[in-house]
Copies of this chain bind each other. A is one copy, B any other.
């Protein structure tokens, strides 16, 4: 069995909330379609940007079900399913498969820090053995600055060796291009996906497969331009312009707390104020910050 390598521009989609801070499913589905229309290959919902771990399992299931029921092709959805409790990870992964969603992004259990590689291997193995579905494709999730639990090269190699048709990629959100390039070089066919928008371009030249990023909530079209034309010398100007736009939008979001800023920027660009809401412990930008951000947005390419 051989599956095509995961690749392309995946959006780490924000999750719109209603006034009670519950997931606004209709607006979420509309956002998914907006992202795909902009050129994203897929929607990596329920990740860090999507505030997944601020939702209950029932809410997470409902969000994914809404996307599928709302007409998003399950092949273009890649939900986060990794939690601290392996039973929960198993449940969410099985649930995704039950909807025909076969690709997931899987955090390691992230409560305990400094755990041994053997323990992380055992955790992933426990989940994969329990799910035991040939359709499943797992993207490991390396975001140590948030999870506190890095995915090291030794762990990656062991998981690929044991589950070659299932452990098929990694989202690397640590921002270290050399680390991504080293993984890509060590494991041809394994999909290395950048977690930071500006790194899509250099990573594609180093054997990377694409990206899963936050700024693609706003500039998916530019990321798509980079992805499609990065190797075409005749398109160098277009690619450079797209990259400059990506960097400008990302730099603006990162001059605030990133996730609330991305949501505020989505609210500003769509005109839907409510899209700026976040769940505690995140804090929405206040009115003054949102006004200042909206003014700066006008100046971006």
Using CB atoms and an 8 Å cutoff, list the residues of chain A in contact with chain B.
Answer: 48, 53-57, 59, 84-88, 91, 108-113, 115-116, 118-120, 122-123, 126, 145-149, 257, 279-283
Contact = CB atoms under 8 A, between A and B. Distances in A.
Nearest to A123: B280
B126 A280 contact: yes
Q: Which 10 A-B pairs have the closest CB atoms?
A: A119-B281, A123-B280, A53-B111, A122-B280, A53-B84, A56-B87, A115-B281, A119-B283, A123-B281, A109-B281
A122 B283 contact: yes
Contacts of A257: 116
Contacts of A281: 108-109, 112, 115-116, 119-120, 122-123, 149
Chain A's interface: helix, strand, loop or mixed, by majority? loop
Given A113-B145, A283-B116, A283-B118, A85 B53 contact: yes
Contact of A146 (B55, B112, B147): B112
Contacts of A59: 85, 87
Contacts of A111: 48, 53-54, 110, 146-147
18 contacts: A48-B111, A53-B84, A54-B86, A54-B109, A56-B85, A59-B87, A84-B84, A86-B279, A86-B280, A108-B281, A111-B147, A112-B282, A115-B282, A116-B283, A119-B282, A119-B283, A123-B281, A126-B280
Contact of A280 (B91, B119, B149): B119
A85 B55 contact: yes
A31 B108 CA distance: 30
Given A54-B84, A56-B88, A116-B257, 15 more contacts: A53-B85, A53-B109, A54-B109, A54-B111, A55-B87, A56-B85, A86-B280, A111-B146, A112-B281, A112-B282, A113-B148, A118-B283, A119-B280, A119-B283, A123-B280
Contacts of A123: 280-281
Nearest to A86: B280
A88 to B, nearest CB: 5
